[in-house]
Amino acid sequence: MKRVKAIYPGSFDPPTNGHLDLIERGSKLFDELVVAILRNPEKDPLFSISDRRKMLEQMTQDFDNVAVDTFDGLMVEYAVRSEATAVLRGIRAISDYEYELQMALMNRKLQPGLETVFMMPAEKYSYLSSRLVREIAQLGGSIDCLVPELVAQKLREKMDPAHKFAAAEESEIPKKSRKRKR
Ligand code: PNS
């Protein structure tokens, strides 16, 4: 029987619960799914490629048929090199549709054998985007229900590096010797 390998390309800066929702749906539909992070030298991302890769690897460790990779250049060329026949993209609202349709049709023009499959994340994520998560985190708002805990932790460290050291110090002190402040 024919096996279908799909790639799920994107910036994932940072990965959100919406991305995870789509990965879970995609993992049920395709035999293999590769989350492919674009290495874009022109963008000034919040998280390095290696941070984003680590976060996505941890987020997807329970899915046997999901892998994480990075790519640069044309997405369709990466898809052909990876022997993928489908591209997964999420559509949250009508506003996404125009851009996604244009990109899907251009990709089809470049590589007719590659099929774009659109999936909708759960409604509760329809207003969620990496850009808004970055903005909320930068302005000190709570991002706890918007991203997985490991991403929230990374965002907190990014916004307040002292947080990282405070958390590390805290975990190094044995509980018994911690003095209680009165
Ligand atoms: O998460 P994003 O930023 O919406 O993802 C956009 C992405 C990475 C899928 C798109 O920019 C892309 O495929 N870039 C690679 C370069 C390319 O193939 N450009 C032609 C698109 S028609």
Integer Cα distance of 35 and 75 in angstroms: 12
Nearest CA owner, ligand 1 atom 17: 74
Closest CA to 155 of 130, 128, 127, 122: 130
Active site residue 154: no
Residue with tokens 């949250």: 92
Residue 14 burial (CB count, 10 A): 27
Cis bond before residue 14 (omega within 30° of 0): yes
Residue ranges of E strands in 78-176 = 86-90, 115-119
Question: Which amino acid appears at position 67 of this protein?
Answer: A
Q: Residue 48 has which token pair?
A: 């390095």
User: In this structure, are residues 69 and 33 in contact, taking their beta carbons and an 8 Å threshold?
Assistant: no
38 CB within 6 A, ligand 1? yes
Note the pTM of the prediction, 2 decimals.
Answer: 0.89
26 lines ligand 1 (CB under 6 A): no
Q: What would the pLDDT profile of 163-178 be if each residue is shown by its tens digit?
A: 655 555 655 555 444 4
Ligand 1 centroid–CA 75 distance in Å is 7
Question: What are the start-end ranges of the E strands in the chain?
Answer: 5-10, 32-38, 66-71, 86-90, 115-119
Confidence (pLDDT) at 165: 56
Secondary structure element (H or E) that encloses residue 154, with its range: helix 149-159
Report pLDDT for 179: 43
Residue 108 has which token pair?
A: 């089809």
For the stretch 1-23, pLDDT in tens is 789 999 999 999 999 999 999 99
In order along its 182 residues, the chain shows pLDDT tens digits of 789 999 999 999 999 999 999 999 999 999 999 999 999 877 899 999 999 999 999 999 999 999 999 999 999 999 999 999 999 999 999 889 999 999 999 999 999 999 999 999 999 999 999 999 999 999 999 998 999 999 999 999 998 876 655 555 655 555 444 444 43
Give the pLDDT of residue 171: 54
112/127 Cα distance (integer angstroms): 32
